[in-house]
Amino acid sequence: MTVQGLGLPMTVAAPSTDGLPTHIRIHEVGARDGLQNEQTTVPTEVKAEFVHRLAEAGLTTIEATSFVHPKWVPQLADAEDLFPLLGDLPAAIALPVLVPNERGLDRALALGARRVAVFASATESFAKANLNRTVDEALAMFDPVVTRAKDDGVHVRGYLSMCFGDPWEGPVPIPQVVRVCRALLDLGCDELSLGDTIGVATPGHVQALLTALNEAGVPTSALGVHFHDTYGQALANTLAALRHGVTTVDASAGGLGGCPYAKSATGNLATEDLVWMLRGLGIDTGVDLGRLTATSVWMARQLGRPSPSRTVRALSHQE
Ligand code: HMG
Ligand code: MG
C-alpha cells in the first residue's frame, strides 16, 4: 500500500455553480458510527489517535463516541477513558457525542462534552431494536435530555434513523418521517440529521423528503444528511441534498460504519469520496485529502482489512 499524500491526481475544479452551496460542513462520524460496528473493539489509544489524525486532516466536527449502555454497544464502552484523551485538541474542534437518555447526558457532561446528539427513529421496529422503546417513548426519554442540555448551553443534534427504508418495515412513508422530525425540533434540537440507516435512499426520494419537510415548516438550514452507502447511492443522494440547499453532510473516514441494531446497514458515505466530489465542484471543505486518505489507510491496517472507499483505494493503490 502506498499513499500518494499531497501529490493527488487533479480534477478540474469548476467554480460552484447552479445554486450549489459554496461551503459545506462535514460532520465526521467514523470514530462513532464506524467503530461502533466493528467486530473487534479498537483499543482506546488507537481511537484517540484516529480522532487526532482526523483533526490534523482538517475535519472540525468529529463525533467522538457514545455514552450509551456499554452492553448495547461494547465497542464504545470506553467513552470515559477516550474523551479525556481528546482534551488537548484545539477548542475549534467540535467533539459531539451520542446520548440516549439522562444517564448518558450525565456521563457526557461530567467529562465536559459541549455537543450531544439524541437519536430517534422514524419506525417502531428500529426504535424497539435500538432503544428498547416505542417512537414516542423514545421522544419522551429525549425530552429532559434536550431541555437540560440546552439549559447548560450545550448544542443538541437530533438524529432521525430510517428516514427512507427500514429492514423490517420496508419503505418508510414521508409523513411518518416528517412527524418525528417536527417532534425533535419541537423538543429543542438545534439541528437534525436525516439518516438513511440502511442505505436504500435514491436522489428523487431525498428531494421529496426535503421538500415535504420544508412544507411542514422545517427549514433546510436545520437539516443535515447522513447516508449509508449500501447501494452505492450515497454520493448521488448527497448531491441531491446540496442542490436543495443542505450544507451539513455526515461522512465517515474510509467509509467505516453501520449500525449494530439495523440488519443490512453498511458503511457510511466515505469522507474521502465526499471531499473528492466537492473538490471537483469547487466547494471548499478545508480537508487535506492526502492526510485524510493516509489516516484511513492507517485505520484499515489497525482493523486488518482494506477501506471500502473507492477514493481511498484509488489514491493509495490499496488492494
Ligand atoms: P434499556 O435496557 O431499556 O435501559 O436500554 P434502561 O433504561 O431500562 O436501564 C437499564 C440499566 O441500564 C440501568 O441500570 C441504567 O442505569 C443503565 P440499573 O439501574 O439496572 O443498574 N443505563 C445506562 N448505563 C450507562 N449509560 C447509559 C445508560 N442508560 C441506561 N446511557 C438504552 C435503553 C437507551 C440505554 C439502550 O437501548 C442503548 O444504550 N441503546 C443504544 C443503541 C445504540 O447506541 N445504537 C447505535 C447508535 S444509533 C445509529 O447508529 C444510527 C445513526 O448513525 C443514524 C443512522 O444511521 O440512521 C445515529
Ligand atoms: Mg449511521
Q: Give the pLDDT of residue 41.
A: 85
Residue 295 lies in a domain: yes
Residue 20 lies in a domain: no
Report the CATH number that the domain containing residue 280 is assigned in CATH.
3.20.20.70
Q: Which atom of ligand 1 is nearest to the CA of 117?
A: 58
pLDDT averaged per 10 residues, the chain (length 319): 44 60 96 91 96 98 98 97 98 98 98 98 98 98 98 98 97 98 98 97 98 98 97 97 98 86 79 98 95 97 91 84
Ligand 1: residues with CB < 6 A are: 33, 36, 66-69, 72-73, 98, 100-101, 103-104, 107, 119, 130-132, 159, 161, 195, 197, 226, 259, 261
Residue 212 lies in a domain: yes
Q: Which atom of ligand 1 is nearest to the CA of 265?
A: 56
Task: Report the predicted TM-score, pTM, of the whole model to 2 decimal places.
Answer: 0.94
Report the mean per-residue pLDDT for the chain: 93
Q: Give the pLDDT of residue 242.
A: 98
Task: Give the pLDDT confidence of 245-277 residue by residue, as tens digits.
Answer: 999 999 999 999 866 676 666 799 999 999 999
Residue 34 lies in a domain: yes
Q: Give the pLDDT of residue 18.
A: 74
CA of 161 to the centre of ligand 2 (A): 8
Q: Give the pLDDT of residue 16.
A: 52
Residue 21 lies in a domain: no
Please tell me the distance from the alpha carbon of residue 1 to that of residue 283, in angstroms, as a whole number.
29
Helix (H) or strand (E) holding 311: helix 310-316
Please tell me the distance from the alpha carbon of residue 32 to that of residue 150, in angstroms, as a whole number.
23
Name the domain count of the chain: 1
Residue 250 lies in a domain: yes
Residue 99 lies in a domain: yes
CA of 9 to the centre of ligand 2 (A): 30
CA nearest neighbour of 172 among 129, 206, 220, 221 = 206
Owning domain of residue 147: 2-15+26-316
Q: Give the pLDDT of residue 163.
A: 98
Task: Give the pLDDT confidence of 23-64 residue by residue, as tens digits.
Answer: 999 999 999 999 998 888 899 999 999 999 999 999 999 999
For residues 214 and 281, the answer to whether their CB atoms sit within 8 Å is no
Residue 39 lies in a domain: yes
Q: Give the pLDDT of residue 270.
A: 97
DSSP states of 123-178:
SHHHHHHHHSS-HHHHHHHHHHHHHHHHHTT-EEEEEEE-SSEETTTEEPPHHHHH
Q: Give the pLDDT of residue 176.
A: 98
